[in-house]
Amino acid sequence: RIYRIAPDGFKPRQPPQLGKATTTELVATFEHKNAWHRETASRLLYERQDKSAVSLLIKLQQASKSALARLHALHALDGLGALKETEVLTALNDADPAVREHGIKLSETLFADAVAPAQLWARLRQLADDPDITVRYQLAFTLGEVKGLERIAPLAGIARRDVSDSWTQAAILSALAEGAGEVFSELSQDMGFRESKAGQDFLRQLVVLVG
């Protein structure tokens, strides 16, 4: 059995001892290029539940040039029970779509009785026009966790833009346990939407859902 082939004189690097790393070193590891390092550091921070990491994570999320580091910092704050509206809003305004997507998902932890805080809700509604489809896709799911008719307009907006995408259609429909009739009413008045094949198919699905 061959375990490793190496040239003469090869000296393997010593494996990292992240279990012995300080909290500060673990947070800094979120910027490492190797996924194993980042994920192990994230796991160790969660296991330690060291609240001294919170300020370091907030600083990393705000200042790191690495989108993956900002993403790990966001989830680490959630794992420590320290994720606040300020950090979620920072994520929702991030330049990287993956960070915005995860910010939307984590924003659900801040809803009280299916109602989002006013500033957070204002930003979520704007993301219905986000240029990245994965962001709009996640937003459709998250809007399903919100009560009230205010979610109808952003859901209809996503439908207009992404009606030809079957995955986004499914996300919108899953969000409409309530409000399918209102979305049908809004979209059926849009001539361009109702005359397109994808639009007609989606309106039929809404009718079935209402029924």
Each residue's pLDDT tens digit, 122-137: 999 999 999 999 999 9
Check residue 15 and give its pLDDT. Answer: 78
Which residue has tokens 């590891």? Answer: 29
Q: What's this model's pTM, rounded to 2 decimal places?
A: 0.91
Check residue 5 and give its pLDDT. Answer: 84
8 A C-beta contact, residue 74 and residue 83: yes
Q: Name the residue type at position 161.
A: R
Check residue 176 and give its pLDDT. Answer: 95
Check residue 114 and give its pLDDT. Answer: 93
Check residue 129 and give its pLDDT. Answer: 97
8 A C-beta contact, residue 168 and residue 160: no
Check residue 2 and give its pLDDT. Answer: 78
Residues near 167 by beta carbon (within 8 Å), at least 6 away in sequence = 137
Check residue 211 and give its pLDDT. Answer: 87
**In whole angstroms, what is the distance from residue 190 CA to residue 149 CA?**
19
Kindly report the three-state secondary structure assignment for every residue of 27-95.
Answer: HHHCCCCCHHHHHHHHHHHHHHCCCCHHHHHHHHHHHCCCHHHHHHHHHHHHHCCCCCHHHHHHHHCCC
First vs last C-alpha separation in the chain? 64
- Using DSSP's 3-state secondary structure scheme, residue 1 falls into coil
Q: Which residues of the chain register pLDDT less than 70?
A: none
